[in-house]
Amino acid sequence: MKNIFPIIILFLLSSCQSSQNKNTDNQQKTTALNYTYANRFENLLNYPVNPNKIPRGIDKNFKKMKTSKSPTWTSGFFAGNLWLIYELTNDKRFKDRALEWTKIVEIEKYNDEHHDIGFKIYNSFGHAYKNIQNEEYSNVIITAAKTLTNRYDDNIKAIQSWNAKEGKWDYPVIIDNMMNLELLFEATRITQDSTFHHVAVNHANTTLKNHFRKDHSTYHVVDYNPDGSVKAKKTHQGYNDSSAWARGQAWAVYGYTMAYRYTKNEAYLAQAEQTARFYLSHENLPQDGIPYWDFDDPDIPQAPKDVSASTIMASGFYELYEFTDNKTYLDYANKVLETLKQPEYLLDKSVEAPFILNRSTGNYNKNSEIDCPIVYADYYFLEALTSKDEI
Ligand code: GLY
């Protein structure tokens, strides 16, 4: 999730005339958005608020909703989607509903059972705080950041993603974990307490050292020994240990671009660019820009696609473009947003479910959420739309 404070300052500094132009631009943008996605947005708004049924996805045939409770890693995205629609449209109904869903995940600020607290709290309360400068919300962010640091080990210099599992791993760190660092960086920005920043930087450095292959693709899981040495490099959600799981590549690019935003460490930017190049130049990346779930699945081109990887990557690329001025990233992000307007990917308006996009793949290896709508694909899609100049 990106920070809007610089946008607010720029806005205050701008002249009356340019603010009138901006208002006209925003109105045009909102009108275009309403035209393309309005009915899908209403489906999100109208979905009944229920702490035991937080929308996560629907099956491939659009018959069965998949919902979760707050401990699940995806629980903050639905609130985030409503916040993002509010940020895109300025329609207050979405803000009110976003707040209701946001409060449901507050309890997760104490949950240190896994690393996903960043996804849950920052993608919900982060928006609440951004839009309503309220100490109640910043306190949730700070408490959650403290909870996340419970999973940090200073010998290993990384946050443990999942708990140890006998015969499987001891101290697994997954590339997705880079995304949770935003919660820590923001906690330091709010409190000026550098402890959170320090943990985030150490985690990013350890991941930089151990997670990337020579071709700059990323492993999914690195398992550590207590002294910080690497025990194993493997996959959990990819095709095999040496394959390039598409969403993992997107977490890496977005994660290191975001980490660069807070640190200005050139090594982070270089890693984001190298992994971006791996992804963009891969022979198995389809022309329409939407990757298969894993670049190494031998079933390609029959393998399922993963829209979520493309939306995470597109949102990350809008920011990477800002830092590098390399138009390749802008072009890819714009292409993805264009592609996703096509009926193949945009959920048909007859489907009454609180989602926008189709054709994501959650966990292929567990035969779970394959080629269907998934809440986090929508989140990064909406976030990418907030970065795009024209819709
Ligand atoms: N963090 C889990 C996933 O990307 O599926």
Reported as a single tens digit per residue, the pLDDT across 291-345 is 999 999 999 999 999 999 999 999 999 999 999 999 999 999 999 999 999 999 9
In this predicted structure, the answer to whether residue 54 has a pLDDT above a threshold of 90 is yes
| Candidates 59, 116, 153, 227; catalytic one | 116
The four Cα atoms 323, 328, 329, 331 give a dihedral, to 10 degrees, of 130
Helices (H) and strands (E) in the chain, counts: 14, 7
- Model pLDDT for residues 215-229, shown as the tens digit of each residue: 999 999 999 999 999
For the chain, which residues make up each domain, given as ranges? Answer: 26-390
Give the residue, by CA position, lying nearest to ligand 1 atom 5.
362
CATH class of 26-390: mainly alpha
Alpha carbon of 236 to ligand 1 centroid (Å): 10
Active site annotation includes 116: yes
The CA R_g of the chain, rounded to the nearest whole Å, is 20
Residue 177: Cβ-neighbour burial (10 angstroms; 0-12, 13-18, 19+)? buried
Distance CA 385, CA 83 (A): 13
Could you give the C-alpha distances from 167 to 162, 164, 170, 210, 219, in angstroms and in order?
14, 9, 8, 21, 19
> Is there an atom of ligand 1 within 6 Å of 247 CB?
yes
> Is there an atom of ligand 1 within 6 Å of 371 CB?
no
What token pair was written down for 217? 């693709």
- Confidence class for position 5, pLDDT limits 50, 70, 90: very low
| Mean pLDDT within 135-144 | 98
E-strand stretches of the chain: 54-58, 65-68, 152-153, 158-159, 172-174, 221-224, 230-234
What token pair was written down for 214? 């020579």
| Candidates 25, 96, 153, 176; catalytic one | 176
Distance CA 209, CA 349 (A): 46
In this predicted structure, the answer to whether residue 28 has a pLDDT above a threshold of 80 is no
Query: 56, 72, 176, 218: which to mutate for ligand 1, most atoms within 8 A of CB?
Result: 176
> Is there an atom of ligand 1 within 6 Å of 369 CB?
no
> Is there an atom of ligand 1 within 6 Å of 216 CB?
no
| pTM, to two decimals | 0.93
Active site annotation includes 176: yes
